[in-house]
């Protein structure tokens, strides 16, 4: 779009700047609205994960690296195949081995 701005002669620069400003403002508002909506959705979705991770953390407050743990079954809205990765992230231990009860 810069090339178009350079082609505008001196008489139309005020109008061109106004159009440029309106387009830029519209893009900023659109991106901001998308980001706000997306952040709200993610915030709501992560509550289930953090609640479950905190519940497991109460049962196992600290672990040595490479430990094998058995955790309770997650709530229905939390897919069981996400549990090992969630707990490895929570405990910052990629060698943690997790068994989900009932699987």
Domain residues of the chain, as ranges?
12-100
Contact (CB, 8 A) for 86 and 52: yes
DSSP code per residue over 61-83: S---TT-EEEEPPPPTTS-GGGH
Q: What is the pTM (predicted TM-score) of this model? A: 0.61
Among 40, 75, 68, 38, which Cα is nearest to 54's? 75
Strand partners, 98: 69
- Number of H helices and E strands in the chain, helices first, is 3, 2
| Predicted confidence pLDDT, tens digits, the chain (103 residues) | 566 666 665 666 777 788 888 999 999 999 999 988 888 877 777 888 999 999 999 999 988 898 999 999 999 888 889 999 999 999 999 999 999 987 7
Report the SS3 class of residue 60: coil
């Amino acid at each position: 779009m810069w090339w178009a701005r350079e082609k505008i002669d001196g008489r139309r620069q005020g109008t061109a700047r106004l159009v440029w400003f309106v387009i830029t403002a519209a893009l900023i508002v659109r991106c901001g609205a998308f980001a706000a909506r997306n952040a709200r959705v993610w915030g709501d979705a992560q509550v289930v994960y953090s609640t479950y991770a905190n519940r497991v953390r109460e049962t196992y407050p600290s672990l040595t690296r490479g430990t094998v743990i058995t955790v309770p079954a997650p709530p229905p809205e939390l897919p069981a195949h996400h549990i090992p990765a969630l707990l490895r992230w929570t405990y910052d231990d990629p060698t943690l081995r997790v068994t989900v009860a009932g699987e």
